[in-house]
Amino acid sequence: MKNIELYDTTLRDGTQGEDVSFSVEDKLRIARKLDAFGIHYIEGGWPGSNPRDLEFFRRVKGERFHHAKIAAFGSTRRAKNRVEVDPNILALLEAETPVVTIFGKTWILHVKAALQISEEENLEIIEESVSYLKAQGRELIYDAEHFFDGFKDDSAYALRTLKAAERGGAAVIVLCDTNGGTMTEEVASIVSEVAKQISVPLGIHTHNDCELAVANSIAAIMKGASHVQGTVNGFGERCGNANLCSVIPNLQLKLGYGCVEPGQLAGLTELSHFVSELANLAPRKHLAFVGQSAFAHKGGVHVSAVMKTPRTYEHILPEVVGNKRRVLVSDLSGRSNVMYKAAELSIDLNESSADVQGMVDDIKSKEFQGYRYEEADGSLELLIKQRLKNWREFFELEGFKVIIHKNSRDEQPVSEALIKVRVGDEVEHTASEGNGPVNALDNALRKALEKFYPELKGMHLADYKVRVLDGQDGTGAKVRVLITSRNGHTTWNTVGVSTDIIEASWKALVDSIYYHLLKSTVPEEVVS
């Protein structure tokens, strides 16, 4: 089994992606997580470029890593500078990392148009920069910027730049598809050719502008590269970098390369979500291997088969990468979907019971009206349990009224809700103001019910989303309201649909309260 070096550049290249930003503390936390996962190299940033990276390198010296080496990133010396006084080279040394990664120009277009120096001078810059940093005791990784474009333009000169880095003593020479425009067959062919002429271990660094970064990285490894660079979740400039969360399991599980220990691979999904959370970005549901939808099944035929033999519709067991199987319910659902969800909810159902088909019919009918239960776990559980014999009605609405006052153009509107509910033989009639009509209605309903159910004081609304379903109908369109609620230790979602946004909100709100009361007052063992 051939072992592959994993080089993560989330903390440098990844932060060049739109909407991606990490504090120094975030970067340290991510570095620890990457180390625990088994990454071999962690590129911390460019020490000469900004104060945040300087502070990271200062603080990371006090960290102890078990697997990873920290790398500082920069460029070769400037053409007019002596290497020993070049500010960029000095900043790399002052970072005091065991590994230094520098990039140099490979594409003759950049040599002539960007640097405006001779071909020979560029070769001298590469060799001298690599040699000098290595002489200072650093492990030197050389990134050949724009290598594939340079090779296609002038293969002889592109190879000469690699030879210069080789003479300088680079430990690894990384071939970079900097513009992300190289096709996979081209990558495979070029890496194969380079491997015949360069004795230093080769690496691959790809960008995703053609949606080929992962495929191109794998192709390079299969043709002889032994070092792969990328980022967690594919974060990076423009369309991003090669996603290590896909590269690693593909190499290890599909092709038999050694990347991390099997036990560490089970932490892949957690790593992916951890980095997304610190970036303050919602985890992307449809990422391969680690996304919430990667092992989600919706069609009834699929679910039925997976329940018998997971291999029928899953290419690996989700637990291998720390993910889990999910069964979705929708208008495509069958009895198998309902049975699977019931088992998840600890509801003991008899598959032959008429209640099961009734639940399926309820779901299909609701989905036709515009409901979606894939993200509304609370409402789905209530829909299933309402068919069971020991379902309990916690309260009955006898009416509500919402009033909005706005006395002048410049004043903020004031919302007030009046509500009448029946609990058993008692009727409670209350009113309350709120920050908008939905908040007023929420406050009034709680005020009416807390006399009977004081446990409602322990829950609160955490998020509220509205989506227009039929945009062509303008202000008369049907809307779907999704409410997220929390009670300190549990979070659940409920949904409501109506052409009236207040009514849609009311339905989602009532489900949210019912769910909380159900969990607080009714044992979980519900049998049909």
Q: How far apart are CA 86 and CA 88, in angstroms?
A: 6
| Proportion of the chain above pLDDT 70, given as a percent | 94
What pLDDT sits at residue 528?
A: 36
Of 108-112, 200-204, 479-483, where does the model show the most confidence?
Answer: 200-204
pLDDT of residue 41 exceeding 80: yes
- Per-residue pLDDT tens for 259-318? 999 899 999 999 999 999 899 888 898 999 999 889 987 766 776 787 778 889 899 999
Q: What is the mean pLDDT of residues 20-43?
A: 96
Q: How far apart are CA 40 and CA 475, in angstroms?
A: 56
pLDDT confidence band for 240 (50 / 70 / 90): very high
What pLDDT sits at residue 50?
A: 87
What pLDDT sits at residue 334?
A: 63
Query: What is the DSSP secondary-structure string of 116-137?
Result: ---HHHHHHHHHHHHHHHHHTT
Q: Among candidates 465, 458, 8, 387, which has minimal Cα distance to 227? A: 8
CATH 3.10.20.30: does it fit domain 396-527? Answer: no
What pLDDT sits at residue 4?
A: 98
What pLDDT sits at residue 400?
A: 94
pLDDT of residue 527 exceeding 50: no
330, 276 Cβ separation under 8 angstroms: no
Q: List the structure tokens of 508.
A: 């989602």
- Per-residue pLDDT tens for 64-117? 999 999 999 999 999 999 999 999 999 999 999 999 999 999 999 999 988 899
Q: List the structure tokens of 404.
A: 């909005």
pLDDT of residue 258 exceeding 60: yes
Q: Is 111 left (phi over 0), alpha (psi -120 to 50) or beta?
A: alpha
What is the residue extent of each domain of the chain? 5-260, 296-368, 396-527
Is the pLDDT higher at 194 or at 472?
A: 194
Rg (CA), the chain: 30
Is the pLDDT higher at 391 or at 32?
A: 32
Strand partners, 69: 41
Only one residue has tokens 């004043």, namely 411
Q: What is the mean pLDDT of residues 33-40?
A: 97
Is the pLDDT higher at 310 or at 344?
A: 310
Task: Determine the residue type at 386.
Answer: Q
Sequence-distant (≥ 6) Cβ neighbours of residue 348 within 8 angstroms:
342, 525, 526, 527, 528
pLDDT confidence band for 203 (50 / 70 / 90): very high
330, 374 Cβ separation under 8 angstroms: yes
What pLDDT sits at residue 526?
A: 39
- Output the average pLDDT for the chain: 90
238, 15 Cβ separation under 8 angstroms: no
Q: List the structure tokens of 427.
A: 């009727």
pLDDT of residue 199 exceeding 60: yes
CATH 3.40.309.10: does it fit domain 5-260? Answer: no
Q: How far apart are CA 37 and CA 267, in angstroms?
A: 7
pLDDT confidence band for 524 (50 / 70 / 90): very low
Q: What is the mean pLDDT of residues 27-37?
A: 97
Q: Is the dihedral of CA 333, 334, 338, 340 positive or negative?
A: negative
- 3-state DSSP call for residue 479? strand
pLDDT of residue 345 exceeding 80: no
- Per-residue pLDDT tens for 420-474? 999 999 999 999 998 889 889 999 999 999 989 999 988 888 888 888 887 666 6
Strand partners, 496: 481
398, 427 Cβ separation under 8 angstroms: yes
pLDDT of residue 17 exceeding 60: yes
Q: What is the mean pLDDT of residues 43-47?
A: 97
pLDDT confidence band for 396 (50 / 70 / 90): very high
Only one residue has tokens 């008692």, namely 426
- 3-state DSSP call for residue 37? helix
pLDDT of residue 35 exceeding 70: yes
Q: What is the pTM of this model?
A: 0.75
Q: List the structure tokens of 362.
A: 């309820």
- Per-residue pLDDT tens for 148-173? 999 999 999 999 999 999 999 999 99
What pLDDT sits at residue 329?
A: 63
Q: List the structure tokens of 282.
A: 């919602």
Q: How far apart are CA 187 and CA 180, in angstroms?
A: 11
pLDDT of residue 477 exceeding 50: yes
Q: How far apart are CA 233 and CA 236, in angstroms?
A: 9
Strand order in the sheet with 414-423: 396-405, 414-423, 426-434
What pLDDT sits at residue 344?
A: 72
- Per-residue pLDDT tens for 122-139? 999 999 999 999 999 999
Distances (CA, A) of 225 to 6, 71, 108, 148, 315: 12, 20, 24, 14, 26
What pLDDT sits at residue 523?
A: 46
By CB atoms closer than 10 A (0-12, 13-18, 19+), residue 286 is exposed
Q: How far apart are CA 187 and CA 177, in angstroms?
A: 9
